[in-house]
Structures are given as C-alpha cells and as structure tokens.
C-alpha cells in the first residue's frame, strides 16, 4: 500500500483571504515503510509574507521571490502523490490551501476521502492531549531537535514517524531497519531485506547442537539435513 505523508507552509491561516502556499513537502511510504522518495518545493506566493508567518517558518518574501510558482510544479506534485492516501496533521488546513492552489491552475481538487488526519488519530488515541506534532514527538520519544522552525519536508519526515506510532506500525516492524538488496529474480531487480540493528543473542546450547546431530544421524545416509550440518551446527 502506497501512502504520502504531506506538510505545507503558508503565508497565513486562510486561503479565502488570499493567503498562499510557500512550501510543500511529501514523503512516500510503501507498506508503512519510508522508501526514500520525496517531493519538495519552495513556492513564490506572489504576495508579501507577513512577519508573523516568517517567525514560524523563516521563509521571507526576499527568499521566495525567485522560487517557482505553484503552476510550475503542479503537474510534478500531482504525479508524485498519484491517487495515494495523504497523511497530514490537521489535514483540513493543508487541504484547504491545496484546493485553492489547484483551483487557480485549473486542476481537479483532491478528494477529502483521501485524507488521513493524524490529529484526529491522535485525539482518539490520546483524548487528554496535548496532540501537537511536537507533543507527539515527546510522547513517542521521536527526535525533533532539528525542528527549530517549521519546514514542510522536515515536518513530513517527523510526521511519518509519528503516524507509524499512532497506528502501531512501528511496533509491528519489530525494530527492523530497511536495506536494499540486489536480486536477479525480482521484476525491478531490487528486493527489500530487513536487518536488526543488534543481532539476537545465540540461544542454542552445545547440548542442543549435539542432540540435533544425533537426531540427524537417525535419518539415514542420504538425509537432506546432512547437507546443512557444519562443524558448529
């Protein structure tokens, strides 16, 4: 299953009052595992960025004036998200801005039923709150020390970790880390192998090994198990 974790930064709080996107960042998840594929762009909002917005994300008008317009990146953005569910914290906010920007460039809107709102998930799981992104990082022990200011791609990366905690997918992975392995018999030549950060302690005793050898010896000279016996088996 493919999902996209998404975050935006804006010039203000209400697209109906002319506020615009200034940054969009996306992280791809495949079967709840980050693939490393991302989409990120700063955007020229074609208006001044108020000081109170700059204080939040640090993206001033001067920095953004030579960045692409949303119209310039719309097709690439839509191609990246495809028809995948969109995982967003306080999804209604980002969705409203995306709808407004897509309408300006005459692209179809993103359906609300594609949204997975992690704020709602957090409120259901932790009804006493608090459930801001920083609060959830503290609750789950997620390192957000790089987050001195809001940033769409960084926040999407952090949100991906929070999302996995909220739905229990991190526990289901049993702490396994993803690594790419080349295989010739897969369609694209790449398979995914999971490895533990720390190898499990050996729990087979010398007595267990000897008992296994004795059992294999009862299976006959041509027993397949004999092919797998080694000096330390």
Instruction: Classify domain 2-179 at the CATH topology level.
Output: Nucleotidyltransferase; domain 5 (3.30.420)
Q: How far apart are CA 24 and CA 10, in angstroms?
A: 9
Pick 212 or 60 by higher pLDDT.
60
Report the pLDDT value the prediction gives residue 202, as an integer from 0 to 100.
74
What is the three-class DSSP state of 107?
coil
Lowest average pLDDT, out of 94-108, 167-181, 203-217, goes to 167-181
Domain ranges of the chain: 2-179, 201-233
44-89 pLDDT per residue, tens: 999 999 999 999 999 999 999 999 999 999 999 999 999 999 999 9
CA distance 46 to 104: 13
- The partner residues of 190 in beta bridges, in order of sequence, read 182
Q: Of 57, 89, 95, 150, which is the active-site residue?
A: 150
* DSSP-derived secondary structure letter, 198: S
Cα→Cα distances 143→81, 85, 182, 213, Å: 26, 25, 31, 48
DSSP letters spanning 37-92: EEEEEE---SSPPPHHHHHHH---HHHHTTSPPHHHHHHHHHHHHTT--EEETTHH
Determine whether 57 is an active site residue: no
Answer yes or no: are the C-beta atoms of 11 and 43 closer than 8 Å: no
Q: Which of 132, 138, 163, 111 is nearest to 4 (CA)?
A: 163
Q: Which residues, in sequence order, are CB contacts of 40 under 8 Å at separation 6+? A: 23, 24, 25, 26, 152, 153
The stretch 133-146 carries a mean pLDDT of: 92
pLDDT in tens, 215-229: 888 887 777 777 777
196 vs 7 pLDDT, higher one: 7
């Amino acid at each position: 299953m493919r999902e996209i974790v998404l975050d935006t930064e804006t010039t203000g709080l209400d697209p109906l009052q002319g506020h615009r996107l200034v940054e969009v960042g996306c992280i791809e998840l495949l079967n709840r595992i980050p693939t490393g594929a991302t989409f990120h762009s700063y955007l020229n909002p074609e208006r001044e960025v108020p000081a109170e917005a700059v204080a939040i994300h640090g993206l001033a008008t001067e920095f953004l004036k030579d960045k692409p317009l949303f119209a310039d990146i719309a097709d690439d953005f839509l191609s990246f998200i495809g028809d995948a569910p969109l995982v967003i914290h306080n999804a209604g906010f980002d969705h409203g801005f995306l709808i407004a920007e897509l309408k300006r460039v005459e692209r179809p809107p993103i359906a609300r039923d594609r949204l997975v709102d992690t704020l709602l998930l957090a409120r259901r799981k932790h009804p006493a709150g608090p459930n801001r992104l920083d609060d959830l990082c503290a609750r789950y022990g997620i390192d957000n020390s790089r987050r001195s200011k809001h940033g769409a791609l960084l926040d999407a990366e952090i949100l991906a970790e929070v999302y996995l905690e909220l739905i229990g997918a991190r526990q289901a992975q049993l702490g396994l880390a993803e690594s790419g392995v080349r295989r010739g018999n897969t369609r694209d030549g790449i398979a995914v192998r999971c490895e533990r950060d720390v190898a499990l302690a050996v729990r087979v005793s010398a007595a267990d090994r000897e008992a296994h050898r004795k059992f294999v010896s009862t299976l006959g000279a041509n027993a397949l198990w004999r092919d797998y016996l080694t000096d330390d088996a």
